[in-house]
Amino acid sequence: MRIYTFISDFFGLKEKAVFFLLLCFSNLSYNFMSIKVLHIDSNHPILWQQLEDAGFENHADFKSSKEEIEAKIQDYNGIVIRSRFKIDKTFLDKATNLQFIARVGAGLESIDCDYAESKGIHLIAAPEGNRNAVAEHSLGVILSLFNNLNQANAEIKSGQWNRESNRGHELDGKTVGIIGYGNMGKAFAKKLRGFDVEVIFYDILENIADENARQVSLQELQQKANVLSLHLPWTPETDKMVNANFINAFAKPFWIINTSRGKNIVTADLVAAMKSKKILGAGLDVLEYEKLSFETLFQDKNTPEAFQYLLEAKNVLLTPHIAGWTFESHERLAQVIVDKIKAVYSK
């Protein structure tokens, strides 16, 4: 018995209708089979496996240089990347058959987005994948800074028992200002609901407030905030945004948290503000000195003076770009990317 005859009898459909449906699924599978995807960074295995199950043809190259990848990129329809190198105009001109670029992360700043879009290439990111991780990390950083947890821990392990110098602050009653109210900013505001704090935010988009935070002007945020948390992409507009003028516009001394991009803060101006007590403490998951890949710091043998201050200051908490780097987000990022890639070809 033909398969469509069996399905027709089982579901009560006409044989011609079943045949048409099977033909559609066959064509969909064929289309997927013709799509070659190059993975140039390692990711959670479900990304590879689910693409393979859907009929995509996966290839991996985790070691070749950008130039070596460029020499063969014309053979691929899709590329999956984290932040290994910049996908610029030169790269895109050689990617003559590229249909999508999927970055397993929140931002697309390592890609010449305008040029890619002009070539009809789909750009895919996954800010939904690690927003919860970033929110939890941001909250942990604030609580650690307020209560001197890392400092007190280090002192006890070195044989010191200092209670008065480790007297902390309470988050209760404070105003937390968020700049950037996208996936990360909204997730962080939601985490703050269990605390008796006022949460306000500034964003270039208007009318995006929800039940977790109130939208204000930048000027009002600078007047009211006790804590500033950055959840911004890196763009020409946000580059070096937090400079001396920006900091001095705050009416009160404040704590600052940055889990977005290091180049959004001028480190030398941040340090100057910490020395003058305008900034009371800083939790930095990202640094101005990071390389584009986010995997290492600068290669300069001479440590900048401002960075040396951050390394030694007791009211500074530094982490190596891990705010969104959890076991759960590792899998969730991959799942979001898979779903979005498949969605491109199901339209």
214 a catalytic residue: no
Contact 285, 322 (CB under 8 A): yes
- Per-residue three-class SS string for 31-82: HHHCCEEEECCCCCHHHHHHHHHCCCEEEECCCCCHHHHHCCHHHCCEEEEC
103 a catalytic residue: no
E strands, the chain, are 36-39, 57-60, 78-81, 100-103, 122-124, 175-179, 198-202, 214-215, 227-230, 254-258, 279-284, 316-318
Half-sphere exposure of 133 (CA within 13 A, CB side): 22
290 a catalytic residue: yes
Say which of 290, 295, 312, 331 is annotated catalytic.
Answer: 290
313: three-class secondary structure by DSSP:
coil
Q: Do the strands 36-39 and 57-60 form a parallel or antiparallel pair, or are they unpaired?
A: parallel
Tokens 């040029």 belong to 115
Say which of 109, 261, 288, 332 is annotated catalytic.
Answer: 261
Torsion, CA 31, CA 34, CA 39, CA 40, rounded to 10: -130
Tokens 């101006």 belong to 269
**Measured distance CA(48)–CA(66) in Å, rounded:** 21
Contact 234, 286 (CB under 8 A): no
β-bridge mates for residue 213, sequence order: 210
β-bridge mates for residue 179, sequence order: 202, 230
- The DSSP secondary-structure symbol of 178 reads E
Say which of 321, 328, 330, 331 is annotated catalytic.
Answer: 321
Query: Which of the residues are catalytic?
Result: 261, 290, 321
